[in-house]
Each structure stands twice: as structure tokens, then as C-alpha cells.
Structure 1
Amino acid sequence: MGIFNTKQSLEEMLEKINNSVPEMIRIGAVFINYKLQKELLDSQKEYNRKQLIWSRVLALATIALVLVTLFLVKLG
């Protein structure tokens, strides 16, 4: 059975609607909070992914510099 009964009077239906408003506001606030947290987590994941890529690039560049330095020392 739904929220409305066809045998209810208009006043009873309006009372049910008015009583459900605070719950709908709470549900709306929870949904907005969820969407904002999801957006924040998604942007944080993207930032972390970019940081990981740059960390790997810098690590490989450091290894390359060490190898080149060792090679030049061996030649000299």
C-alpha cells in the first residue's frame, strides 16, 4: 500500500505530506553529502594517480643519472 489511501480526506493527505517533509529534507542532505564526498574522493584519487606517475618518472630519472655518472667515472 502506498503513502496515500484513496479513502483519505484531503486534510489527511496534506498532513501525511507535511509530516514527511523533514524526512525528505534529511534524505536530501544525506544525498548531497554523499555526492560531495564522492567528488572529493574522485579528485583525490586523480591527484594521487598523477603524483604516483611523477614519482616514478623522477625515480627512473635518478636511476638513469646514477648509471650515466658511473659510466662516465669508469671512462675517466
Structure 2
Amino acid sequence: MSPLRTTAEPPAAAPVPSRTRPRLPWPHLPWPRPKKAAGQIALLVVAALLAAHVLAAVMLLALREPWRPDERPGVAAT
């Protein structure tokens, strides 16, 4: 008998990976995450393009000069 093992209990089963991971504060996504680096990079590129388009649309709406019916030039005319 080995001096390291002092009890006669059978070895414990390996832990299930999904049970050993901590729970995330958000729900799982309905689609699978990319496993390879190329897929993750592609997902980041698509997310960056989407964020840039949303930011550009917001800035266009926020910074456009209002319509002037009295024909006076605005700030953009100078």
C-alpha cells in the first residue's frame, strides 16, 4: 500500500467542466462562440464596423446643421 493514500475510498470522479466554471452574470448566447482565433478576429472586426457605423449615424444626426428657412447662412458657411 502506498504511504500517500491513507483512506480506502475510491478515487473521486473527474469534475464536469460546465459545473466547475463560475456562472456568468448574463445569459448564454443562442449562437455558438467561435473557437479559433480567426473566427474571433472576424467577429471583432464585424463588431467594430457595426460600432463605427452606429457612431457615425449618431454623430451625423447630432452635429448636422438645422434647416434654416430664412436663407441665412449658418456655421457651416464660414
Structure ID, larger Rg: 1
Structure that is richer in helix per residue: 1
TM-score, normalized by length of structure 2?
0.41
Give the structure, 1 or 2, with the largest relative contact order (CA under 8 Å, sep 6 or more): 1
TM-score, normalized by length of structure 1?
0.42
